[in-house]
Structure 1
C-alpha cells in the first residue's frame, strides 16, 4: 500500500478577487492530489467569497471560512487549527504553485 500523506494548503485572503482564480487553479492542478485547501477570508469586501464559493462547489477538497478582519497571521493560525493534513503548505492568495510542488516536497 502506498503512503500518501494529506497536505493542508492554507490560504489567508483579503480582497483577492484579482488573483484568487489563478492561485486556486495552481492548487487544483497539482500532480499530487491528496490535499485539502483551507481558505480563510479575513473580512473581504469584494467578490472574493463568490469566486471561492464556485471552487468549493466544484471540488470538495476546498473549504472556505470567514473571519472578521484580524490580519493574515491570525488567518494562518485559524487555518492550522482547522487543518487535517500531516503537512502544511502556506500560500498567499496572490501566489501560485508549480504543478509538481507537492510531489517534489514529498
Structure 2
C-alpha cells in the first residue's frame, strides 16, 4: 500500500459542530498520501465555512 493515495470521503449535512473533531482526527493520521473529500449536501449551518477554513490550512482537504 506504500505510495497509494487513501481517500477519506465525509458526507456532511449540518455537521458544523462535529466537523472539526472529525477532520482533526483524520489529519492526525501519519499516512503521508491522504486526501480528504467533504461532500456538503446543502447544509444550512456553517458546515461549508468550517470545511473552507480547514481546506485553507491543509492541502489534503
Q: TM-score range by the shorter chain?
A: over 0.9
Larger Rg: 1
Give 2:43's aligned residue.
Answer: 44
How far did 1:8 drift? 0.4
Cα RMSD over matched residues? Answer: 0.8
Gaps of 5+ in 1: 63-106
Give the SS at the match of 1:40.
strand
> What is the rounded CA distance, in whole Å, between the counterparts of 1:33 and 1:42 in structure 2?
28
Gaps of 5+ in 2: none
The alignment of Structure 1 onto Structure 2 pairs a total of residues equal to: 60
TM-score by length of 1: 0.55
> What is the rounded CA distance, in whole Å, between the counterparts of 2:40 and 2:57 in structure 1?
19
Give 2:20's aligned residue.
Answer: 21
> What is the rounded CA distance, in whole Å, between the counterparts of 1:51 and 1:41 in structure 2?
11
